[in-house]
Amino acid sequence: MSYFFLRNDTSNDIIQYNQMNRREEGMRKLLTILLIALVISSSFFPGPGFAVEASKATGRRGLEIPQAFIPRGGSIIASSETGQILWQEDADKPWIPLSITKAMSIYLIYQAMDLGKFTLETEIPVTPEIEQLSTYFYISNNEMKQGATYTVSELIDLAILASSSAAVMMLIWETELTHGEFVTWMNETAAELGMTDTTFYNAVGAPNTLMGNYPAEGYPAEEQNISTAQDIAVLSAHLIKEYPEVLNHTNIVRKTFQEGTDFEETFETYLITLEGASYGIPGADGIKTGSGGDSGYNMSMTAKRDDTRLIGVLLGVGDWYDYDAPEYRSGIMKALFDDAFDDYEYRLVLPKGEHEIDQRTLITEQDLYDIVPKGQDPGVKLVDNTFQLNVEGRTYLKGYGPPSVSFIDPVAIAEARDAATRARRLSTKNLISPIVVTIMFAGLWLWGQMAARKNQ
């Protein structure tokens, strides 16, 4: 059983053959998917965080998504900037993410660069171990040969575009960690990010049983990585926010590596919703797919239009053997993204400066931005000495909450200053009284001593 898209020469031939067969029915499928997208778009997002099953949403419009292509592992759409959830269905359902796992590996590679371990320009030679690992045809890979050297930047491209397990292992070993130690770091980071329903047993997404001589040491071979749509969205949001330069790698549709050498290879993206790809979504520029076995076709995606960036995760569409699944996966995701962009925008809701509210003049020193339903101006409210958007019932990704800005209340500051002044005066007054009494008693004592000496 194959757990990944195969990347060797034979598998590329198989993929091309399958693509030729699919072209014969391409127009029919495209029309069906566009109808699905249209019906989904007319049914979703009546309010913040609203969720409804895709099958029911389309069914109300007289169109059924085939049972085989209903996402079985959950789905979610959220604002990348705020973490507000705009769509979710079974978002916390455990699922095998497969090669989406590599997004966490890349996140930690960027952290390793922050720690000074290496740079994007660092060159790493192919070792005998990496050459052997690259021959494992039952996991996703590219062909690595001794004598070739890749930069860290090229290896990140291979890990994302070609989903190369060998490229990921080259990067891991450059951190001076073992595979098992790196996986421990992955799990610690997942806990720090609030990915409470995620456990990694492997850094590339394959079960350890398929890793041959290179499993994650200390982790059981029979286990597979587990995550959820929401946890993957959390990871994707952090990766893009903290390392936006990763989009220069995730947005690649086609690239040739080692061009003009004996090691030359060319890969095309399997994230076919990227802008410029076969099912391109306007503004789509990453992140990662993962497909295989019963887990089906999975994807994490981001897109930006104007100032609004969204994160989407779709898990469990079809199965590995259903060649229609990638197109349906892409069509459903396109509908969800188009509808979210149609209904929401990330914009300025309160500029910095003075604001009158509840007969008080309050001053903010920062602008307040938030994701807002288009055509609506809900205003702001005061919450715990901050301004927030005046919208109730919103839900957020783990670790996120409503955006807010603090304010300065000049009247309250003046009142506090006056109160402090009065307190100091009262304290001084209270201090003077005992001093005066003490001086009086001291004076009387001295007078008494002087009188006694005079009498002697």
| Residues contacting residue 166 through CB under 8 Å, at least 6 positions apart | 130, 133, 134, 141, 142, 144
Q: Does the pLDDT value for residue 259 go beyond 80?
A: yes
Least confident of 196-205, 240-249, 311-320: 311-320
Sign of CA dihedral 84, 393, 380, 377: positive
- 310-325 mean pLDDT: 91
Q: What is the pLDDT of residues 427-439, one digit of tens each?
A: 655 655 565 556 6
Q: Does the pLDDT value for residue 308 go beyond 60?
A: yes
By DSSP bridging, strand 75-79 and strand 308-317 are antiparallel
Q: What is the pLDDT of residues 20-33, one digit of tens each?
A: 344 444 444 444 44
Least confident of 130-144, 230-244, 273-287, 320-334: 320-334
- 380-391 mean pLDDT: 93
Task: List, in order of start, the domains of the chain with CATH numbers.
Answer: 9-344 (3.40.710.10), 346-406 (2.30.140.20)
Q: Does the pLDDT value for residue 329 go beyond 70?
A: yes
Residue bearing the bigger pLDDT, 35 or 176 = 176
pLDDT of residue 414: 60
Residue bearing the bigger pLDDT, 23 or 350 = 350
Assign 145 a pLDDT band (cuts: 50, 70, 90): very high
Q: What are the structure tokens assigned to 55, written together?
A: 């099958």
- 294-320 mean pLDDT: 95
pLDDT of residue 319: 87
Q: Does the pLDDT value for residue 42 go beyond 90?
A: no
pLDDT of residue 21: 42
Task: State the CB neighbour count (10 A cutoff) for residue 282.
Answer: 12
Q: Is 273 helix (H, G, I), strand (E, B) or coil?
A: coil
Q: Are 354 and 363 in contact, with CB atoms under 8 Å apart?
A: yes
Least confident of 12-21, 93-102, 157-166: 12-21
Cα–Cα distance between 214 and 178 in angstroms, integer?
A: 10
- 186-193 mean pLDDT: 98
pLDDT of residue 409: 85
Torsion angle in degrees (nearest 10) through CA of 272, 301, 252, 225: -100
Assign 2 a pLDDT band (cuts: 50, 70, 90): very low
Q: Does the pLDDT value for residue 109 go beyond 60?
A: yes
pLDDT of residue 360: 85
Mean pLDDT of the chain: 84
pLDDT of residue 113: 98
pLDDT of residue 413: 58
Residue bearing the bigger pLDDT, 99 or 207 = 99
Least confident of 44-53, 108-117, 311-320, 413-422: 44-53
Q: What are the structure tokens assigned to 8, written together?
A: 């060797």
- 357-374 mean pLDDT: 92
Residue bearing the bigger pLDDT, 325 or 35 = 325
- 179-191 mean pLDDT: 98
Q: Whose CA is closest to 303, among 326, 335, 275, 343?
A: 275
Task: State the CB neighbour count (10 A cutoff) for residue 24.
Answer: 8
Q: Are 170 and 150 in contact, with CB atoms under 8 Å apart?
A: yes
**184: which strand partners?**
none
Q: Are 334 and 273 in contact, with CB atoms under 8 Å apart?
A: yes
Q: Does the pLDDT value for residue 14 go beyond 60?
A: no
By DSSP bridging, strand 380-383 and strand 386-389 are antiparallel
Task: State the CB neighbour count (10 A cutoff) for residue 371.
Answer: 26
Assign 45 a pLDDT band (cuts: 50, 70, 90): very low
What percent of the chain stands above pLDDT 70?
76
